[in-house]
C-alpha cells in the first residue's frame, strides 16, 4: 500500500502534536487542545484524534485512527457497540485537520466499515493515559471541504493503571498486567444478486454482517495465584469461563467501560523465572471465543 500523499502535511502536524504532548508546555500551550485532528461520523463531531494515517490499495482506502476514549462522545460508542454485536454499521468517517483552531483540510471515507479495534497494554504501575486504536476501510477516499467545527475541550483521561480483571472462580485481584488485545471485524460473505440465503446447516449457507474475533487474553498474575490457573489448565483444557476487563475511574470504584469475555479457554500457564518469592509473576494465556462491549 502507498500512503495517501495529500495527507502528508497533516501526518507531519499530527507527529508534532504527539511530540508536543510528551513535553512540558508553556502557559499558552497548556490552554491549547492536545490534538489538531477531529473525528466526525456522518457529519457529527465525535472527538479529537491523537494520531491518524490513511493508506490506499487495490482494495480501497484504509484509515488508522488513535483516540483517547475519555474525549469521545456518545456517538463513538454507538458506532462500536453494533460492531461488537456482529453488525456492520457503515458510516461516513471524516478526519478534519485543524490549523490555529480552524478546520484546514478534511479526508472522508464514505460508507466505511469498522475493521479492527485495539485495546492497549495495561500495567498496574503505569499512570499514562489510555488510548484506543481502530481501522476503518471503504471503497474510496475523498478530499472534502472542511466542516465548520471546533476542537473539543480537554477531559480527565483514563489511566492505564486503573483497571480490573475478573474471571469466574479465579483469583484475579492481583493482575499485574494485561497484554494488548485486538478485536477484528471481518465481513461475512454476501449472497450474489438474486440469490437468497438457504437454510442453516446447508453448505451453501450465506449470512450477513460481520464475524467478530479477538486475539488471546494474556495476563500476568501473582505467583501465589498461579496454582489455581494451573489446576484449571490441568483439569480440562476445554473448561470455559466468563470474564471481564474493566477500565475504572481513578477512585477504582466504578467502570468507565467493560469488555466482557465469553467462553475463555486457558491454553498456557508459565512462571516468570526472572522473579522469585512473593513478588513473582506467572503469565496466563486464554483464548477468547466471544467478546462484548458495555459503553460508558
DSSP for 118-185, written as a single string? EEPPEETT--SBP-EEEEEEES--EEEPPPS--PPPP-PPPBTT-EEEEETTS--TT--EE--EEEEE
CA dist 159 and 175 (Å) reads 16
- Which secondary structure element, helix H or strand E, spans residue 263, and what is its range? strand 255-271
Collapsing DSSP to helix, strand or coil, 31 comes out as helix
The pLDDT value recorded for residue 143 is 83
The pLDDT value recorded for residue 194 is 52
| pLDDT by position in tens, the chain (length 296) | 433 333 343 333 443 333 222 222 222 223 333 347 889 999 898 998 999 998 887 778 999 999 999 999 999 999 999 999 999 989 999 998 877 767 778 889 999 999 999 999 999 999 999 999 999 999 999 887 766 666 566 678 999 999 999 999 999 999 999 999 999 999 765 555 554 444 434 333 334 567 999 999 999 999 999 999 999 999 876 789 999 999 999 888 899 999 999 999 999 999 875 555 556 899 999 999 999 999 88
CA dist 272 and 59 (Å) reads 43
The pLDDT value recorded for residue 227 is 94
The pLDDT value recorded for residue 33 is 39
pTM of the model: 0.78
Residues comprising the chain, all counted: 296
Side-chain-side CA neighbours of 221 within 13 Å: the count stands at: 23
- Exposure string of 97-132, with b = 16+ CB inside 10 Å and e = fewer, is bbeeeebebbbbbbebbbbbbbbbebbeebeebbbb
Collapsing DSSP to helix, strand or coil, 284 comes out as strand
The pLDDT value recorded for residue 4 is 39
The pLDDT value recorded for residue 237 is 65
The pLDDT value recorded for residue 275 is 53
Q: Are strands 177-178 and 122-123 parallel, antiparallel or unpaired?
A: antiparallel
Biggest alpha carbon–alpha carbon distance for the chain: 67
The pLDDT value recorded for residue 23 is 25
The pLDDT value recorded for residue 88 is 92
Amino acid at each position: 500500500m502507498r500512503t495517501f500523499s495529500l495527507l502528508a502535511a497533516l501526518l507531519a502536524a499530527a507527529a508534532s502534536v504527539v511530540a508536543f504532548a510528551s513535553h512540558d508546555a508553556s502557559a499558552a500551550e497548556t490552554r491549547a487542545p492536545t490534538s489538531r485532528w477531529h473525528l466526525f461520523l456522518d457529519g457529527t463531531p465525535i472527538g479529537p484524534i491523537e494520531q491518524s494515517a490513511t493508506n490506499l490499495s487495490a482494495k480501497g482506502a484504509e484509515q488508522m485512527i488513535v483516540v483517547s476514549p475519555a474525549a469521545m462522545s456518545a456517538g463513538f460508542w454507538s458506532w462500536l457497540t453494533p460492531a461488537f454485536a456482529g453488525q456492520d454499521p457503515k458510516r461516513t468517517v471524516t478526519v478534519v485537520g485543524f490549523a490555529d483552531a480552524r478546520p484546514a483540510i478534511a479526508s472522508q471515507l464514505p460508507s466505511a466499515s469498522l475493521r479492527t479495534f485495539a485495546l492497549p497494554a495495561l500495567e498496574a504501575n503505569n499512570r499514562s493515559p489510555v488510548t484506543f486504536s481502530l481501522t476503518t476501510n471503504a471503497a474510496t477516499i475523498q478530499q472534502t471541504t472542511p466542516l465548520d467545527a471546533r476542537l473539543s475541550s480537554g477531559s480527565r483521561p483514563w489511566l492505564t493503571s486503573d483497571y480490573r480483571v475478573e474471571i469466574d472462580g479465579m483469583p484475579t485481584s492481583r493482575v499485574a498486567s494485561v497484554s494488548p488485545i485486538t478485536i477484528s471485524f471481518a465481513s461475512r460473505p454476501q449472497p450474489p444478486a438474486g440469490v437468497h440465503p438457504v437454510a442453516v446447516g446447508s453448505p451453501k449457507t450465506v449470512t450477513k454482517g460481520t464475524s467478530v474475533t479477538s486475539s488471546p487474553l494474556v495476563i500476568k498474575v501473582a505467583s501465589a495465584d498461579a496454582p489455581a490457573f494451573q489446576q484449571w489448565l490441568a483439569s480440562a483444557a476445554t473448561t470455559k469461563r466468563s470474564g471481564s476487563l474493566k477500565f475504572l475511574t481513578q477512585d477504582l470504584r466504578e467502570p468507565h467501560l467493560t469488555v466482557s469475555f465469553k467462553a475463555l479457554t486457558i491454553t498456557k500457564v508459565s512462571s516468570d523465572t526472572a522473579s522469585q518469592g512473593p513478588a513473582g509473576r506467572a503469565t496466563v494465556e486464554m483464548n477468547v471465543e466471544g467478546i462484548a462491549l458495555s459503553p460508558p
